[in-house]
A and B are shown apart, each in its own frame.
Chain A
Amino acid sequence: MDQSADFIIFLGRFHPLFLHLPIGFLVLGFILEFVSRKEKYRSLRPAVGFTLFLGAVSALITAILGLMLATDGGYSEDLLAIHQWLGIGLVVFAFGAWFIYTRKEKKQDPKLEKAYVGLLSLMMVFLGGAGHYGGSLTHGTTYLTQYMPDGMRALAGLPQQQRGFKPIENIEEAVVFEDIVHPILEMRCNSCHNASKKKGELQMHTVDYLKKGGESGPVFVAGQPLDSEMIKRIHLPESDDDHMPPKGKTQLTPGQVALLEWWIAEGAPFDKKVAELKTNSEIDDILLTLADPDANKTEVELLLAEGVEEADPEKVKEIKSKGVMIKPLSNNENWLQVTLNKSLPVDELLAEIAEAFPNQVTWLDIKDSPVTDEGFASVAKMTNLTRLRAEKTSITDKAMGHIKELPYLEFLNIYGTKVGDEGVLALGDLGNLRSLYVWDSRVTKQGAKQLEEKLNKLEVNLGFEVTVVDSLTVQVVPVKGE
């Protein structure tokens, strides 16, 4: 008994393969019918009947296979019913059209001609309908429109697409499931786990179904993210058959995984707001990006992400030939990093580089070089400079005066130079400055402290103090501004 049921399903699985035949034959018959009415293609006329006959027979076989496949279950009842009756209708109209065609060939009759054109048209409508609902059954109802451009969606009267997260205005008041978890599931899970597709007997598009789980049991264990089926599968290697989302589909981002884990760890509530759940700093950072994708990015990161126009390759080549190491930060960026060796005429080259690439140079390394204070006038022209290494040079406070207006300078290394308090205090307007290295320079603890108070992101490194405790122990404590 079981054997024959299996065999029926085995045959039924040929339905998706076979269905392309009636589509091809019937569409061809329809085209032949109207094309052959033109004098030029008259010779095609006799083929119409034969093509329609092939189409009708293959439609019949396809319909039978389809009914066999339906015994397998797992399809949405409503969609299946529509598809089934459209398919059966198609078979009827196809045979009808062929039958009238053969009658009409024997005896010219305007009534038969009308009925023929009508049946042919109805057949095409049913063909389109059956095809469409069949597609909806296998791929899901939103398959076609998922990537429709917004303009077309407006015309078709569909709601606007939500790509990624819809920014959340007030994150504390957001409902964790509805506003944060559900959109993730919607984006990455529901296209296979919905009312019409139900992969693994699992539907995730409503709260009830999500709680119900699927073939492998519940989706989650409240409070136990690591014991939850969903999280376990997300963490399996991508090559594993049980990994979700399956290999080849867009994967969850680490942030999205962290949010799902957090929601389950907090008991998987369906009505609680963010403010009602415990968070840690990691989750806080991710939540911030839901309100504003750039929330955790610094001004410098935004600048670098924005990019810059390409530097003249000829000029780059020319300067490179003078012994300067100059190259892009990476393969897909135009930002340049420049390193000048101590054996080069650094001041002259700096002037030339600042002239040629005032916007592109963002990392500059002139450590241990004969650069002078005057050379820094050129450095000041590199407006997008973010990292500057000028340690172990003989520059003084004057050099700092030149670079006090570099808006994006984030990292400055001037250890082992003659720069003192006056020099670094001139940097008080560099709001993006985060790291300043002044060990072994003339900067004092007081000067460092004063600048740190002015620039709240800044950490000044004054080196370490070394005290020997015994033969095995030594205390190495950072020197702090005071």
Chain B
Amino acid sequence: MNLIEELQYRELQSKTRRHFIKQCASGLGAIALGSLMGCGTGKDSHQQAMEDLVDKIPHFAPKAKRIIYLHMAGAPSQLELFDYKPELGKLDGKDCPPSLLEGKKFAFIQGVPKMLGPQAKFLERGDSGMVVSDLLPHFSSMVDDVSLIKTMHTDEFNHAPAQLLLHTGSPRLGRPSMGSWVTYGLGSENENLPGFIVLVSGGNTPDAGKSVWGSGFLPSVYQGVQCRSEGDPVLYVGNPSGMDGKLRKQTIDAINGVNEKEYRDTGDPEILTRISQYEMAFRMQTSVPEVMDIKDEPEYIHEMYGTSPGKTSFANNCLLARRLIEKGVRFVQLFDWGWDTHGVSERESLEVGLTNKCQQVDRPMAALVKDLKQRGLLDETLVVWGGEFGRTPMQENRGGRVWPFKGRDHHTEAFPIWMAGGGVKGGYTLGETDEIGYYAVKDRVHVHDLQATILHLMGYDHEKFTYFAQGRDFRLTDVSGKVVHKVIA
């Protein structure tokens, strides 16, 4: 008798009649419960679960079927890009009036900072005459397809909470992200690819970490899947050396067989999610490398975006975003890190750092919108661009020092975002800020208002689009949010 046989023998010996009866009772109970709760057994209900993922019907006919969200992590300066304030230029170098500082908290500004005039030239662009800085020459050629909101405001003045608030509707961890909500609501159009894909560039993931694309309390199928444009697109999806596709398929079939048996025994629907994830992962082994390989794009497309295959860049990610959208991915989330221009180093300065970041994103983001347009995809794809908050009209004086570079601190009262396609107006500027760009004064748009608007464009009433968790219904917009009808075409 070898060791394993002996173990089995011992185990059997230790079983009593009580074990037998207990096992029978709880097993039968679970089966009865399963059928009572409407879970059948085997393939049918599994298929039903998959159909549920695909067959989602919104509250009203959607204007946008897909979203590409370009997030500039670190928060770009509105005063150098979209909000031209000549009055601020006149105040340059003067002490900030106390009225702007009373009762305010800043991340780094201490005492009385100096005002800082616009560090870029502004021009009227396109037929609409939208005023845009010369740091964004490529973007300036497509302003007539864009709705610019200059009066966004938020509640959080630090990166991580502000990013969480923007993407999950709450500054604390644990809520599903916008992409998860949208995928949960509209399902996927391509069963070989995840409905929600995340691409990161700029050298770092956003400060709030992977929670900004987490699924919170929604089923984990709706979580964002991060793909990389360098090396393996999705980590751990490739086959290890020595294992070919056929063997992998056999392995997954065997695992799914065990899981299906377990499902028949227990009726736990999370097992179905597990089965479908395995199958999806297997299909992704071919579908993902195919869609993530940009080498087969023609030369003029590479010129348009400024892409170089095989590298990690915002340009490559923009091109990938278009390819993913073409394949029917519902929500493509791009993060580009490095926009936190405090002025404490060259990289974080308005003079050098911001100019460099603008050069990295300006051409590809313009190319993305134009490329979607020529493919007839812009009509039903919403492109959103923006940071998590804005920057102060005052120069940052961290530690009470004068820094060698120009920079601005975090600011919650006014920041811009732009949207294109997907049912929004073209060549439209919404909102006004005061003379120095400190407060949004007319047509203020809160982060929850933006979320409500995005859901509205996707066909959902943000107040009715809820998910029951932890004893109550949750929504992306928490308890507020108003659709900004003015930007909707």
Contact = CB atoms under 8 A, between A and B. Distances in A.
Interface of A: 226, 237, 239, 254, 282, 304, 325, 327-333, 335, 339, 389, 391, 411, 413, 415, 435, 437, 439, 461, 463-464, 466, 468, 472-478
11 contacts: A282-B486, A304-B61, A327-B57, A331-B60, A391-B376, A413-B375, A437-B376, A464-B371, A466-B303, A474-B363, A476-B141
Nearest to A435: B379
Interface in B90-142: 137-138, 141
A420 to B, nearest CB: 18
Contact of A437 (B55, B62, B137, B374): B374
Interface in B425-474: 441-442, 459
Nearest to B142: A476
A439 to B, nearest CB: 5
B60 A330 contact: yes
Contacts of A475: 141
Given A332-B60, A435-B379, A466-B303, A472 B363 contact: yes
B366 interface: yes
A476 B367 contact: yes
A415 B376 contact: yes
A95 B304 CA distance: 95
Given A461-B376, A464-B374, A476-B366, A254 B486 contact: yes
Interface in B195-218: none
A468 B303 contact: yes
B375 A391 contact: yes
A254 B189 CA distance: 34
Given A389-B376, A437-B374, A464-B371, 9 more contacts: A226-B441, A304-B61, A325-B54, A325-B189, A413-B376, A435-B376, A472-B363, A474-B303, A477-B141
A335 B61 contact: yes
B373 interface: yes
A482 to B, nearest CB: 18
Contacts of A339: 189
B236 interface: no
B261 interface: no
Nearest to B428: A282
Q: Which 5 pairs of residues, A with B, have the shortest CB-CB distance?
A: A437-B376, A413-B376, A329-B61, A463-B374, A466-B300
Nearest to B479: A239
B403 to A, nearest CB: 28
Contacts of B485: 254
Nearest to B443: A235
Contacts of A282: 486
Contacts of A435: 376, 379
A335 to B, nearest CB: 7
Contacts of B367: 474, 476
Nearest to A466: B300
B374 A439 contact: yes
Contact of B137 (A239, A304, A325, A473): A473
Interface string B299-339: 01001101000000000000000000000000000000000
A330 B459 contact: yes
A468 B57 CA distance: 44
A466 B305 CA distance: 10
B188 to A, nearest CB: 11
A339 B189 CA distance: 10
